[in-house]
Amino acid sequence: MARLSSLSPLNGYQKSIGSINLCEINDYSLVSLAIPQDTTKKFAKIIKDEFDLAMPTSVMSKTDKKTRLLMTQPDQIFSIIPRVDNPEEDLSKTIGKAAYMTDQTDAWVVLEISGATSRTALERICQVDLDSNMFKLNAMARTTMEHMATIIIRTDVNTFLLMSASSSAKSFLHAVELSAKHIS
């Protein structure tokens, strides 16, 4: 029997609107790591040893070229790693029992917005202050855009990753596209 083919929430969407570029990112796996009570130090050490990354904070993600860590709620960290088939299994090789793992790869849609006016477009839907002194490189926030829960991460001066629920991916894309159209 043929293996099941996969379909990303926006089917690899990519588009330029005015000076804004939008593109779906779907070459990653995402696993939530819940840190057992009273083991944060142990967990931080493993992160340091295995990924050579410091613990992320509630407002600042940590990244090297391969991995990005986000603290999404107290005691919960999202790790975004290159796409593998079974990321829970893959990560447990390194993290072992230092965290409870839940695959979240398919729960999210990730949209990258870039271009000189990306911030101006985001002003229409994002209530978080994206001023570069307030929201620095790799800063992250969990917030809401057009009534959809969203995680926003700054990856460059004018580049942001927007993560939202995969089931409403099309509504989310519409909200972002419309903002780009309204200002272009």
Partner 1 sequence: MSQLFRINGGLTDRSKPINFTFNNKQMVGYEGDTLASALLANGQRLVGRSFKYHRPRGIFSAGSEEPNALVQLRTGAHQEPNTRATVTELFDGLTATSQNHRGSLGFDFMSVTDLLSPFLSAGFYYKTFMWPKAFWEKIYEPIIRSSAGLGSLSMLEDPDKYDKGFLHCDLLIAGSGPSGLTAALAAGHAGLRVIIADEDYVLGGRLLEEDHNIDGISGQDWVLQTLAELTEMSNVRILPRTTIYGAYDHGIYGALERKTDHLADSGDKPRQVLWRIYSKRAMICGGATERSIAFANNDRPGIMLAGAVRAYATRYGVATGNKVAIFTNNDSGWQTALELVAKGVNVVAIIDPRDTAPRTHISGVAMIMGASVCNTSGRKALSRIALSNGQTLNVDCLAVSGGWSPNVHLTCHQRGRPVWNDTIAGFVPGGDLPVGQFVAGAANGDMTLGAALKSGHKTATLIAKDLGFTTNSSKVAKADDENFAIKQFWHVTGHKQRAWIDLQNDVTTKDITQSQAEGFRSVEHLKRYTTLGMATDQGKTSNVLGLAVMAEATGKTIPETGTTIFRPPYSPVAIGAFGGRERGQHFHPTRLTPSHKWAKEQGAEFVEVGNWMRAQWFPKSNDKTWRDSVDREVKKTRTSVGVCDVSTLGKIDIKGRDAAEFLNKIYSNPFAKVPVGRVRYGLMLREDGICYDDGTTARLAEDHFVMTTTTANAVLVYRNMEFARQCLFPDLDVHLISTTDQWAQFAIAGPNSRAVLSKIIDKVDMSNDGFPFMACSNITVCDGTPGRLFRISFSGELAYEVAVPVRYGDALIREIIKAGKEFDITPYGTEALGVMRIEKGHVTGAELNGQVTAFNVNMNNMISIKKDSIGSVLSRREMMIADDQIRLVGVKTVELSDSLASGAHFVAKGEKPTTKNDQGWIASVCYSPHFEQHIGLGFLERGHERHGEIIRAWDGVRGTDILVEIVSAHMYDPEGGLQRG
Partner 2 sequence: MIINHPLLGPRDANEFVHLGDESLIDRPDGMADDAANKFHNYMYLRDNPAGKYRELWYHDAGDRSWLVVTRDTLTHEIFDVELARDVARARGRSK
Q: Residue 149 interacts with partner 2 (CB under 8 A)? A: yes
Binding range to partner 1, per CB under 8 A, among 42-50, 54-62, 98-106, 151-159: 98-106
Window 153 to 182, contacts with partner 1 (CB under 8 A):
165-172, 174, 178-179, 181-182
CB of 123 to partner 1, least distance (A): 5
Helix (H, G, I), strand (E, B) or coil at 106: helix
Q: Which residue has the tokens 């809401």?
A: 144
DSSP assignment string, 43-102: HHHHHHHHH--PPPBTTB-EE-SS-EEEEEETTEEEEEEE--S-HHHHHHHHHTTSSEEE
Q: Is the Cβ–Cβ distance between 33 and 100 less than 8 Å?
A: yes
Contacted by 143, from partner 1, partner 2, none: CB < 5 to 8 Å by type: partner 2
Q: Residue 93 interacts with partner 1 (CB under 8 A)? A: no
Q: Which residues bind partner 2 (CB under 8 A)?
A: 58-59, 72-74, 127, 141-144, 149
